[in-house]
Amino acid sequence: MSKRKYTTQFWKDSSRIYEQILELPFNRELMKGTLDRDKFVYYMKQDALYLADFGRALAVAGTRSGDTESMKQLIGFAEGAVVVERALHEHYLSEFNAELDIPKSPTCEAYTGFLIRATVLEPYPVALAALLPCFWVYREVGHHIHKNATRPNVYQQWIDTYAGEEFGESVEQAIDLTEQAARDATEAVRQQMLEAYLESTRLEWMFWDAAWRMEDWPV
């Protein structure tokens, strides 16, 4: 696809949030391999709960795409996310002798609820914009940590997954889908897309921060 005018602007407008994500204690400690295992296990459990709804949201967006190729790509993303990330979760939960035994945290509930609402209720281009940060931010964080990680690192498999070529290809496809949707949208819908993209990026920040705090419901 030719120059990505709109998605590039989305990234620029969210760059301050992304830089803050890199500085979160969770990601800095993961990069050094010194992250407390209980915090990482908590994160993996919440990520597994998040993933289930993320896959549903991708599938719903696929049914609304309006063309067969986009539908196939989005449903493929959902399938790939479930297979690849579930394997990652199972690896670490097994290694750390942990089970998926907690409910969604308040932050996980907020994030997945936002994505489901966006894919069901908002225009299709807005749904794509809401889903994109989970791809794009994770790839960039993965590359940053891979480049700067202490080795050996107990979290190397996590790092390699999100810095890997297979995940990167999915990210490129997701960006291109969103760019095309933005090109075909009205200016008003493009503004909604930006707002949805920023909201999801903020929720990405919150998700990692919640993992560091091992967030729980107050009662």
Q: Are 70 and 133 in contact (CB under 8 A)?
A: no
DSSP 114-174: HHHHHHHHS-HHHHHHHHHHHHHHHHHHHHHHHHH--SS-TTHHHHHHHHSHHHHHHHHHH
Residues with catalytic roles: 134, 204
Helix segments in 64-123, DSSP class H:
68-95, 106-121
CA distance 22 to 40: 16
Backbone angles phi, psi at 178, to 5 degrees: -70, -40
CA distance 7 to 177: 10
Tell me how far CA of residue 212 lies from CA of 42, 47, 126, 145, in angstroms. Answer: 9, 13, 30, 17
| Angle at alpha carbon of residue 120, lines to 162 and 17, rounded to 5° | 40
CA distance 175 to 135: 9
CA distance 205 to 22: 9
